[in-house]
Structure 1
């Protein structure tokens, strides 16, 4: 399994996916022995933890050179680095060459829908990886039917595409832990939470314009933005929105992130496009009323439990935020918790292991 994403400065949702899948497979409950595959690293171990005892084999090349060599030269093969393998799993677009059966996880194809959200180099790299996946993968794992539909639209064979929804690992927080977090961060008023890596498709300008309207109607309510910088900046406040009504907390520890969820009045995630929408599921696990984008994988994850809006409409988003923090909140919270119970990393790992078994013994491509 390719685990190099865990060494990225911002591992993002795909990093969480690899971490949680590894942790579940490492229990031995699914009949799979995992070896990690990564680039050469002279520095510290990854910020995202690896399961105790996991063997990680490192290629002789640093990440940038390794990725280019995989795409352009076709070396080194995964089995040359990791040893004997039954199946190779590329967990992101970093797809190693191999003569063994190949499974590729496609989190999304956002670069095809709006190339302007990525660099020219990134777009070219993604497209080459997509072509390798189309040509060589024995199975393609996607986290949602929305992403499966995107894959079919770009020519991937439906028989090879397997929908395996992500899970989410609950991190319960006590009232005392939430109170401590709010004291340390100065969150004195009720707040709507947004969480994610800051990038254009997350649609923060529309969220801020919507909240400027909400702030007039709900003077007791703040907006809290949580997450690392990606490629983009938090947009400036719209005219009329007081700076102290929006709090930007940046990247938080796992414990503080879940305290932020647990202490929120509602969660808002109006992303234009997602492969899955893990923050929506995490918020629902905490029983939060959720507002998210209609017609996206986030709506698929919500399964009718959230308020769905046109992500291009600040007015619609503002109305939904007022509703989510008003009398409808208890019912929305109940629906969120019920929907979240349908997802688990154990189920994701079990289905992934079934995909491995379905291709083991084949030769890819």
Structure 2
């Protein structure tokens, strides 16, 4: 039986799509043939990722506030024939159809100071609407599910569905070319990637790099985000260490694959995440990780690296731990990563949609 789903896809067109953008990129093409999804956007039309796009014909700066107030274009009007609506982020449209919402994390409640006052108001209003209206809430980890229950979302509507990972094939010489382009030579390097924002703990990563007792280089990859990203910590590094820090900027998928594959270890000691997809991406290339103890990343990657606190000293100790057992951690990463596929994630989403339809 075919299921027609109106899926909010506007995150794909954000200046910084972030993890929620990569979620849509992974999920939409992997949906089984019985799910006929249409992407709802602010103004974009055409098709992307095999997903037909239907514009609400309202600029994003107006569409999101309208939706958050329970107003504005309804998905069933933008995509006639839809049976289910899937809000893939906190941009939750009003609808008379069954509604599934993906809650990636509740970071705005853990530390409101990392978000703007406007952002906090938007997220809190969206959370209230999800509690009142969502028929299904999809979360990527048990930790996020537990946080949702603490905030009053009914356990009966929650579905824990981990993300997947797609390991891109590497062209011959791709790692060497990445190294040459970024001035790395043959030196071992530590990698961090993500949006530059406070909760990603770049200050901790940079501070740890200054304490590591080896001649590593450090590659920081990702787009500029918001707030104090911790880059001021670069000024505190000794001169020789500062010269070994490389700002790679936002990488293409192919370059990111080469960066993961060539890294000695992947550092991702975020203060909070809903899932931590970059950790799984690094594991797919056999790269050990240093990440946050007790986090969703440890749910996914236990045994594939070191899980520590978030201070520079603790992160540096995690790097030393990985260095002492790198081969074992790399082998574990390669064994674990294939368990997480977008096909499996999409099949579980499809089951949720079927239940609602």
Structure-2 change in CA distance of 1:271 and 1:282 (3 Å)? same
Q: CA deviation at 1:50?
A: 1.5
Equivalent runs, 1:65-214 vs 2, <5 Å: 65-188=62-185, 189-214=187-212
Offset of residue 60 of structure 1: 2.2
Contact persistence 1:303–1:339 (CA under 8 A): no
- Give the drift of 1:174: 4.2
1:230 aligns with 2:225: yes
CA shift digits 1:272-310 (9 cap, x unpaired): 100000010001000011110001111111133221101
Aligned length in residues: 346
TM normalised by structure 2 equals 0.94
Residue 259 of structure 2 aligns with which residue? 260
The match for 1:363 is: none
CA contact (8 A) 2:44 2:53 kept: no
Shift of 1:267: 0.8
Give the aligned partner of residue 288 of structure 1: 287
Counterpart contact for 2:284–2:333, Cα < 8 Å: yes
What is the distance in 1 between the residues matched to 2:179 and 2:205?
22
**For residues 110-166 of structure 1, what are the alpha-carbon distances to aligned partners after superposition, in whole Å with 9 as ceiling and x for unaligned?**
000000000000000001111111000000000000100110000000000000000
Partner of 2:331: 334
**Structure 1 position 40 matched with structure 2 position 38:** no
Please, what is the CA RMSD of the aligned residues? 1.5
CA-CA distance at 1:73 after TM superposition: 4.6
| Offset of residue 211 of structure 1 | 1.0
Q: Secondary structure at 1:341's aligned position in 2?
A: helix
Residue 241 of structure 1, CA deviation: 5.1
Q: Secondary structure at the match of 2:49?
A: coil
Gaps of 5+ in 2: 1-6
Query: Contact 1:167–1:346 at 8 Å: present in 2 too?
Result: yes
Distance 2:52 2:308 in 1: 45
- Cα–Cα, structure 1 residues 344 and 250, in superposed 2: closer, same or farther, change >3 Å? same
**Secondary structure at the residue paired with 2:232?**
coil
CA distance in 2, matches of 1:179, 1:356: 44
Alignment of 1:3 with 2:21, yes or no, is no
> Which deviations, in whole Å up to 9, do the C-alpha atoms of 1:174-195 show, x marking residues without a partner?
4511111111121111101111
Distance between the aligned counterparts of 2:203 and 2:233, measured in 1?
8
